[in-house]
Amino acid sequence: MTPEQIIKTIVVRRGPDDFLFVLVPGDRVISWPKLRSHLDVNRLSMPDADDAFRVTGYERGTITPFGSTTPWPVLADVRVSGEVSIGGGAHGTSITVQSTDLISALGADTADVTDPV
């Protein structure tokens, strides 16, 4: 797999007990201005490790939208395409799938919300 095919799952806080998953290609980072604009919010943050575990059931480095303790909304960057690999909920575990199937299975929205590393 190339870096752009390895999908990072980032947990983002919109407000108190209001989170979402953002799927980011491995060669990109979240563009906070783009993400705020897309979500029509003025402020976003990333939860600390304890909060991320509390709201997903996964520790950092293993977070995936699949099987999360709460089914938070999912937003995939538009560059998530082709065959991709996404974390499977445990260290060293991943799922390889076509991006269209991933986005469909998660009911994910898509938008341009990243910048190059």
Instruction: Assign residue 50 the CATH number of its domain.
Output: 3.90.960.10
pLDDT in tens, 74-84: 999 999 999 99
Tokens encoding 8: 């990072």
95 lies in which domain range? Answer: 3-110
Please indicate, yes or no, if residue 117 is contained in any of the structural domains: no
Strand partners, 23: 9, 76
Please indicate, yes or no, if residue 115 is contained in any of the structural domains: no
* Cα distances (Å, whole numbers) of residue 48 to 4, 13, 19, 45, 55: 25, 10, 12, 9, 11
Total number of domains in the chain? 1
pLDDT in tens, 68-108: 999 999 999 999 999 999 999 999 999 999 999 999 999 99
Say whether pTM exceeds 0.75. Answer: yes
Please indicate, yes or no, if residue 17 is contained in any of the structural domains: yes
pLDDT in tens, 18-37: 999 999 999 999 999 999 99
